[in-house]
Amino acid sequence: MRTLSFGPAPDDPRWGVRLAAAEGWSRAVVSWSLDEDGGEKPPAWAAAILAGALTDAGVLQFPSGIRAPLAAGLIPRRWREGAHFVFASARTAHEAHGLFDAPLFVWDFGGLRGFLSDHGAPLPRLAEAHLEAPLEALPAGVVGLVTSGVDGDLAGLATRGDARLLALRDALHARASALGVAWRET
């Protein structure tokens, strides 16, 4: 049975969601039942629910690869914006699917981030440093964050304030119900 679950973000790092508590930010975790074959990204139905709810809430920006740094598989290399990746922006659920399929950025490795800003507001200027920055160091225009968990079966959510997180929860619930997906709140 397809199930989408929503609950408070645990502080336990074994969950693989890197969302440390920060003043003024509210956090949660969304998880889903995996399809039979598992996979390295959310199943299509979970990705559709997430992408739709996120773009209902605002404009989503996320890294999309151009090419890996030379010898990146052999030794640690710095990824430079413009040379190795760009920040794509998504205003529709269809465009937001790139978060789960972005070239060179794999969802199930954990730590992949999508940055949410309000509809109609100028897009915040993001930089490579924001891919690992704590919540309090994100630009002012970022009102929400989605991050992948290890193994591809959950996502961490953080928003500036409870109201945005509750609205995102309600959008996730509505989209899950519309697709006949069971909803569980923990």
The reported pLDDT for the residue numbered 141 is: 96
**177 is a domain residue:** yes
Give CA–CA dist 148/31, Å, rounded: 10
**106 is a domain residue:** yes
**126 is a domain residue:** yes
The reported pLDDT for the residue numbered 107 is: 75
Inter-axis angle of helices 44-57 and 162-178, to 10 degrees?
Answer: 140
**16 is a domain residue:** no
Name which of 45, 22, 47 is nearest 145 in CA terms: 22
The reported pLDDT for the residue numbered 115 is: 97
Domain that holds residue 152: 23-185
**10 is a domain residue:** no
- Any bridge partners for residue 32, and if so which? 4
**52 is a domain residue:** yes
Residues 6 or more apart whose Cβ sits within 8 Å of residue 41 = 47, 100, 101, 106, 107, 108, 152
How far the first Cα of the chain sits from its last, in Å, is 18
**4 is a domain residue:** no
Judged by DSSP in three states, 81 sits in: strand
The reported pLDDT for the residue numbered 135 is: 93
pTM score above 0.75? yes
**60 is a domain residue:** yes
Quote the number of domains for the chain. 1
Residues 6 or more apart whose Cβ sits within 8 Å of residue 129 = 137
CA–CA distances in Å: residue 146 to residues 20, 70, 165, 178, 180: 13, 29, 11, 22, 23
Name which of 127, 148, 147 is nearest 139 in CA terms: 127
Give CA–CA dist 150/66, Å, rounded: 23
The reported pLDDT for the residue numbered 148 is: 86
The reported pLDDT for the residue numbered 179 is: 95
Q: What is the DSSP letter of 51?
A: H
10-residue mean pLDDT series, the chain (186 residues) = 89 68 92 69 90 97 83 65 88 93 72 91 94 92 90 86 96 97 94
